[in-house]
Amino acid sequence: MNKSTIIIEKRGAGYVCTASGKFGGGYQMARAGLDPQSAAAFAAREMIRYAQSNEEGGDLIAPPEIMELVPEHLRKIDAKPD
């Protein structure tokens, strides 16, 4: 099982993102925004990019102030049925 994972963390004055994709691709510690709104928009885009295109789906892990701003359907994307 190779679910995608997007992790948003608070670092200094802003937020950073680590992403892993289906085939082991991704990145670590990319700038995700200086405020919760920017970081939530970044997280939503990355969930679309990594998790919606993955038949195994994906999960978003982020602080509460980010999670509450990300649309619910983009917080956890279930695997596509066979």
Is the pLDDT score of 4 beyond 80? yes
Local structure of residue 65 (DSSP, 8 states): H
Judge contact between 16 and 32, C-beta under 8 A: yes
pLDDT in tens, 8-61: 999 999 999 999 987 667 888 889 999 999 999 999 999 999 898 888 999 999
- The pLDDT of residue 28 is 87
pLDDT in tens, 67-79: 999 999 999 999 9
Instruction: State how far the Cα of 70 lies from the Cα of 77, in Å rounded to an integer.
Output: 13
Coil/strand/helix, residue 78? coil
Local structure of residue 63 (DSSP, 8 states): -
